[in-house]
Amino acid sequence: METLMRVTDTIKSLRETRFSALRSPTEFFDYNRVSRPADLNQATHRISYNTRYFSGNYGLVIALLGVYALLTNLLLVFAVLFLVGGFAAINRFAPDPIQVGEHVITQKSLYTGLFVIGIPMIWIASPFSTFFWLIGASAVLILGHATIMEPGIESEYAQVQDAV
């Protein structure tokens, strides 16, 4: 019950902090504001402004890419569920040694068997390549979008407000 309360509190805080910063799709995909930056200084200014302005949308893009990565790598999902489920099953159903015939099966031997099967499964599922693909795809999409989107009129007022 306590865990459920913590999860709901975490979801509420996420909604209040990150999802409150979501901009509308029409503003995020406004093709009228798309242009090539004139120089590196302007590109850097755009990236700085747009990453703050569209931070909620960029977080959503990263989450959607993460879901896509997991859906396309089902072996990774299966391997993680196998390990987590194995840990839960061993802790719940085998806290004490079990005698099968003349063999005594301890919790340590069950964990060893779980690792002998689970670690190669994780290795074959290549979580590092999935993780680095997620970083690379997110960086290309976010930096590309932030670079080509012109800041709105409100960005000029934000600079004046910072100066005062």
More confident residue, 153 or 61: 61
- pLDDT of 148 strictly over 70: yes
In the chain, % of residues over pLDDT 70: 89
Q: Find the mean pLDDT for residues 80-88.
A: 95
Q: Find the mean pLDDT for residues 66-92.
A: 94
- pLDDT of 158 strictly over 90: no
pLDDT score recorded for residue 155? 67
pLDDT score recorded for residue 135? 97
Of 113, 55, 103, 63, nearest to 83 by C-alpha is: 113
Q: Find the mean pLDDT for residues 126-154.
A: 93
pLDDT score recorded for residue 2? 78
Token pair for 159: 């600079």
Measured CA distances, 61 to 28, 37, 45, 46, 66 (Å): 11, 23, 21, 18, 9
pLDDT score recorded for residue 5? 80
3-51 per-position pLDDT tens digit = 778 878 887 777 676 666 788 888 888 889 999 999 999 999 999 999 9
pLDDT score recorded for residue 94? 83
pLDDT score recorded for residue 18? 63
- At residue 16, φ and ψ (nearest 5 deg) are -75, -35
pLDDT score recorded for residue 63? 92
pTM of the model: 0.76
